[in-house]
């Protein structure tokens, strides 16, 4: 147990180091989300103050969705095949996928908090229950990372990873996205928190299913 935790933390450390050494990719992602938010801000510029809370919320999550797909798509193509083979001789595939999911969760958290602050800064912040909204961001980050990491592993094996990543992940992510949209809308309207417990439970359940499946299925994927 202690051994596997140590291995997991070593793998996580490797992911962070890799990202830090290739800062252009990280900076690219940060600029991507800020740029997307700004494009939306300017596109809705025609009539100021016409953005209803529903549109505000949906737009934000769509931006996050595209950012997530772009950010996570590179988690398996960043390193060369030879080096991946080397990792597989060192650690078990389960630990590799878990470390990738954990790392992507942290990345998504950073991106979504940055996105939220920029978005709220330029487009105004109609959220009435900010702690619940932040909890939703947290749940969303975990869910996006968990379900997209395996899909990016699948897509990276194929000929045209970029298109395939989008095609495979849109339908897979939808149940999660719908639930998260619902919770964040409740937070936006400042509804009583007891209204959202049901959906939060379902998001957690979907996360659990997806993480378990990644854990079970990844060993079959990396062999090819």
**Interface residue list for another protein (CB under 8 A):** 147, 150-151, 154, 157-160, 164, 167-168, 170-172, 174-175, 178-179, 198-199, 202, 205-206, 209-210, 213, 217, 220-221, 223-224
> Cβ 169 to another protein, closest distance in Å?
9
Residue pair 218/96 in contact (Cβ under 8 Å)? The answer is yes
Nearer to another protein (CB atom), residue 118 or residue 210? 210
> Cβ 39 to another protein, closest distance in Å?
26
> Cβ 220 to another protein, closest distance in Å?
5
**144 closest CA partner among 115, 103, 93, 184:** 103
Report CA 133 to chain centroid distance, whole Å: 16
Nearer to another protein (CB atom), residue 63 or residue 168? 168
C-beta atoms surrounding 118 within 10 Å:
19
Nearer to another protein (CB atom), residue 51 or residue 217? 217
Report which secondary-structure segment, H or E, holds 201.
helix 197-222
DSSP 108-119: HHHHHHHHHHHH
Nearer to another protein (CB atom), residue 72 or residue 118? 72
């Amino acid at each position: 147990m202690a051994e596997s935790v140590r291995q997991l933390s070593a793998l996580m450390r490797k992911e962070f180091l890799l990202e830090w050494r290739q800062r252009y990719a990280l900076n690219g992602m940060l600029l991507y989300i800020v740029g997307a938010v700004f494009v939306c801000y300017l596109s809705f510029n025609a009539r100021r103050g016409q953005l209803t809370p529903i549109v505000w919320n949906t737009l934000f999550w769509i931006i996050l969705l595209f950012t997530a797909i772009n950010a996570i798509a590179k988690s398996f193509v960043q390193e060369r095949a030879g080096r991946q083979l080397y990792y597989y001789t060192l650690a078990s595939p389960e630990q590799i996928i878990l470390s990738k999911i954990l790392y992507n969760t942290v990345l998504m958290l950073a991106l979504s908090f940055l996105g939220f602050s920029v978005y709220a800064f330029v487009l105004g912040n109609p959220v009435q229950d900010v702690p619940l909204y932040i909890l939703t961001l947290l749940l969303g980050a975990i869910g996006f990372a968990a379900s997209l990491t395996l899909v990016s592993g699948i897509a990276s094996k194929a000929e045209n990873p970029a298109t395939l990543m989008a095609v495979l992940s849109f339908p897979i992510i939808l149940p999660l996205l719908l639930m998260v949209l619902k919770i964040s809308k409740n937070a936006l309207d400042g509804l009583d928190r007891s209204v959202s417990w049901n959906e939060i439970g379902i998001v957690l359940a979907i996360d659990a299913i997806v993480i378990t499946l990644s854990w079970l299925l990844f060993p079959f994927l990396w062999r090819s």
